[in-house]
Structure 1
Amino acid sequence: MNRVPAIFCVLFLLMSRASFSQKKPAEWYVTANGNLYMPVGTRSKAVYPILGYDKTTSPKILLGGIGIGAAMLKPLSNDLSFKGQTNFSKHTYWDEPVMMKDYVGASLGQFQSGSSDYGLGIAGMIHYYPVEAFSIGAGISAQINVISFSRTPGMYIGAEIDPGFVVNRYYKTVLPMVPVELSYKLKKLLFNVRYEAALMNRIKGDLADFRSDKFSLLTFELGFQIH
């Protein structure tokens, strides 16, 4: 069974179910997020900070995963709501270090490559409210990869390395995920902490036979109610 179409079928059914509840109007939010790419099934990658500083890297100011999006909350009952959301985000991580040499073959040490994926995330979740302002939700989601690139050594300028970029073409376009989310509502604000785990190896083609990358995402999100 093709799991990707199944993901979107279930999302559609959940959204259709939400439309039947007319007791309370839906709430709409614009969102901003910071996120951490959590490597799973690979030893070559490491977590990149959302915001940090490292004097040994270029650039020295490290700006990691960030994104913007929109969310909708539709009450289904007194203690259940359907949440649909989408976001466009950058997910950044430390990729496999590259050993560098100068023009005569002398070692310059390792070059730490920072990689970034730009993609669209969609999710459908059912949230349960044990108390009025706090909820926990779970459902299904998908990450749609738009482009991914790695920062790589480009050319030498004196003793310095001028980094370049290379596009990563060995990642699948659509990857199904399972999200679990904690939310807290405060007047017009919505605070979310969401963890999403991939259901399959994101590497495609023959490379997937000997390389695994089942990543997950930890997202910290702030929503502003607009309706």
Structure 2
Amino acid sequence: MKYFRSCLWLLFLFIGSESFSQSRKTEWYVTANGNFYMPVGNRSKGMYPILGYDKNSSPKILLGGVGTGAALLKPLNKDFSFKAQANLSKHTYWDELLMMRDYVGSNIGYFQAGSSDYGLGLAAMIHYFPVESFSIGAGISTQATLISLSRTPAMFIGADIDQSFAVNHYYKTVVPMVPLELSYTVKRLLFNVRYEAGLINRIKGDLADFKTDKFSLLTFELGFRIN
């Protein structure tokens, strides 16, 4: 928490500075991203591809983490800029294996669900520009889950499994994160690679007493300047 408060004070200090650069203007971007959900502290979960194909899965085309958003880049002085970011994204991962049984209780094997969290990501960072087009930034961020869905077997027809979706109610709505970002600009395009580390166990309620489930995000982002 001391690090978290220090980041907040640093952001306010830079925002309140009056030594703004006269050579650079505030820039607005619309963005699209592909992202990897990286489980931490839970070996039963796995990373899901952004785009892939698996002939043994249903559906066979695997579409993982994707999203869209907006970003603001406001110069503070010659070397530093304040960046605010907002994204609506889907974060997808392989959930824990489930042992499946038929209607008479016989074991028919394991089923692995592909789960997706749909949510809002917010970030505030300070970016340092060692050269004009390249910057590195860090700050604070948060991921707010609007809904979390898992594929689950709904019924059995012979050896086939018909799938439906179940809502996960055991995740916290808001998880604070620490982002580290590399950015490169060329003409009106912005390229970002951002890593965000979750700070707390996302499991809530009594289940959190004996189960830990943290995560990180690795995001590849493309932005287009609109001003």
Q: Give the TM-score taking structure 1 as reference length.
A: 0.92
Moved more, 47-56 or 154-163: 154-163
The residue that corresponds to 2:28 in the other structure is: 28
What displacement does 1:130 show? 1.0
Letter matched to residue 95 of structure 2: D
Contact 1:11/1:123 (<8 A) preserved: no
Aligned position for 2:117 = 117
How high is the sequence identity, in percent, across the aligned residues?
Answer: 68
Amino acid at match of 1:44: S
Q: Distance in 2 between matches of 1:19 and 1:109?
A: 64
Distance 2:6 2:158 in 1: 52
- Letter in structure 2 aligned against 1:87: N
Assess if the C-alpha contact under 8 Å between 1:14 and 1:124 holds in 2.
no
User: How far, CA to CA, are the matches of 1:172 and 1:7 in structure 2?
Assistant: 24
In structure 1, distance between residues paired with 2:12 and 2:78: 21
Partner of 1:208: 208
* 103-112 or 207-216, larger mean C-alpha shift: 103-112
Which residue of 2 is the match for residue 159 of structure 1? 159
Match of 1:170 in 2: 170
Task: Please tell me whether the aligned partners of residues 184 and 192 of structure 1 are also in contact (alpha carbons under 8 angstroms).
Answer: yes
Residue 190 in structure 1 maps to residue 195 in structure 2:
no
- State the partner residue of 2:149: 149
Structure-2 change in CA distance of 1:32 and 1:18 (3 Å): farther
Report the alpha carbon displacement of residue 22 of structure 1 after superposing the two structures with TM. Answer: 6.6
CA contact 1:120–1:144 (8 Å) conserved in 2: yes
- Separation in structure 1 between the aligned mates of residue 195 and residue 87 of structure 2, nearest angstrom: 15
Q: How does 1:60-79 map to 2 (within 5 A)?
A: 60-79=60-79
Structure 1 residues not aligned, in runs of 5+: none
Q: CA RMSD in A?
A: 2.3
Aligned-residue offset at 1:163: 0.8
Identify the range of structure 1 (186-195 vs 98-107) with the bigger mean alpha-carbon deviation. Answer: 98-107
30 and 180 in structure 1: CA distance in 2 versus 1, 3 angstrom threshold: same
Match of 1:136 in 2: 136
1:224 and 1:91 map into 2 onto residues whose CA distance is 22
Kept after mapping to 2: 8 A contact 1:140/1:179: yes
Q: Quick one: which amino acid aligns to residue 116 of structure 1?
A: S
Q: Greater shift after overlay, 200-209 or 155-164?
A: 155-164
Taking structure 1 as reference, are residues 141 and 218 closer, same or farther at Cα in structure 2, changes over 3 Å only? same
Shift of 1:114: 0.5
Aligned length: 226
Q: What does residue 181 of structure 2 align with? A: 181
Query: Is the Cα–Cα contact under 8 Å of residues 11 and 124 in structure 1 kept in the other structure?
Result: no
Q: Deviations over 1:37-72 (max 9, x none)?
A: 000011110000000011111111100000000001
Is the contact between residue 113 and residue 152 of structure 1 (CA under 8 Å) also seen in structure 2? yes
